[in-house]
Structure 1
Amino acid sequence: MASPYINDQTARTETAAALGRLLADSYMIYLKTQGFHWNVAGPQFEPLHTLFQEQYTELAQAIDEVAERIRALGPKAPGSFSEFKELTSISEETGAPAADAMIAQLVSDHSTASRTALQAVAAAESRGDVATADLATQRVAQHEKTAWMLSSLQERGN
């Protein structure tokens, strides 16, 4: 039996709004990570340059999947920088901080995005939208993994 959610446009719009916030957070992290990739310097240059590229490449795919899910729900996906800035919980970085500060910002940002994704999971689950809940759950796991990997770079050997 089909879920009543399929025909409930208000519920679909509310779920899409939660995904819009996740899309904005993801895009801002993508943009920041790519900027860090371009501007990292110092003794950690090579591994961080490579790591940041891997991370922004993964984010690009995720951004597309989240935006397409929003469209599948019906609403227009946010697609402008002004919309992203309005919806995001991630602060913009306009400078080129030291490598350790880049890592610290990204740990914080991925933790924030994980919480935003978890809110999207809750919104979707409360409305019976298993497809959106699954997508957002995958984003929780990926943001948590990325935060863990980056925070491991901050640890000092004992």
Structure 2
Amino acid sequence: MTTTLEARQTALVKALNREQANTLVAYLNYKKYHWMTYGPLFRDLHLLFEEHGNEIFAMLDELAERSLMLDGTPIADPADYLPAATVKPSKGKLKVREMVEEAIATHEHIITEMHEDAELADDAGDIGTADLLTRLVQVHQKHRWFLKEILKQGDGLLDN
């Protein structure tokens, strides 16, 4: 029985490490968008990207500390983040619309993985991890909703 418990905790810590890595990459992508946005919606998007980025950054500690609560080790070395992440870092010069679309895709990816990881935690009887992921996925869903609403405008302001 101990081996099964240890195996479950190991799997959960691995999932939490991936979520932690994805969170850092998503944060850095948001900082890029924050710095590189332009055009008629500059002020609104500049502030929105900053707000979303800060909310994402706050998740890092929670994910790392949850790994520690499971007697695991969170990612601590900067070089270990990108290999552990399944979210891709943003590359190149993007149009504003592309930034918004890329952010939406990142949220959709993280939401899918957090759902899967919450199920893994639930199956392992770890309501603490399941609760954390359930709470965090709601932040990603809210960000995705805000960004999708920006694309619904249809006024051409993001097309330059």
TM over 0.5: yes
Match for residue 55 of structure 1? Answer: 52
Match for residue 158 of structure 2? Answer: none
Match for residue 40 of structure 2? Answer: 43
Instruction: Measure, in 1, the Cα distance between the counterparts of 2:90 and 2:137.
Output: 23
Q: Which amino acid aligns with 1:123?
A: L
Distance verdict in 2 for CA 1:98–1:89, change over 3 Å:
same
1:31 equivalent in alignment to 2:24: no
- Kept after mapping to 2: 8 A contact 1:36/1:102: yes
TM-score by length of 1: 0.90
Instruction: Measure, in 1, the Cα distance between the counterparts of 2:114 and 2:19.
Output: 6
1:123 equivalent in alignment to 2:125: no
1:99 equivalent in alignment to 2:92: no
Task: Say which is worse superposed, 129-138 or 8-17, in terms of deviation.
Answer: 8-17
Match for residue 71 of structure 1? Answer: 68
Is there any run of 5+ residues in structure 2 with no aligned partner, and where?
156-160
Instruction: Measure, in 2, the Cα distance between the counterparts of 1:38 and 1:79.
Output: 26
User: What is the Cα deviation at residue 69 of structure 1?
Assistant: 0.4
Q: Which amino acid aligns with 1:126?
A: D
1:10 equivalent in alignment to 2:7: yes
Instruction: Measure, in 1, the Cα distance between the counterparts of 2:89 and 2:146.
Output: 22
What is the percent sequence identity of the aligned residues? 27
- Kept after mapping to 2: 8 A contact 1:40/1:96: no
- Kept after mapping to 2: 8 A contact 1:107/1:147: yes
Match for residue 86 of structure 1? Answer: 83
Counterpart of 1:22 (choices 19, 27, 32) is 19
Instruction: Measure, in 2, the Cα distance between the counterparts of 1:132 and 1:154.
Output: 33
TM-score by length of 2: 0.89
User: What is the Cα deviation at residue 83 of structure 1?
Assistant: 2.1
CA RMSD of aligned residues (A): 1.9
Counterpart of 2:130 (choices 120, 127, 133) is 133
Q: Which amino acid aligns with 2:44?
A: P
Instruction: Measure, in 1, the Cα distance between the counterparts of 2:84 and 2:41.
Output: 33
Is there any run of 5+ residues in structure 1 with no aligned partner, and where?
none
User: What is the Cα deviation at residue 86 of structure 1?
Assistant: 1.5
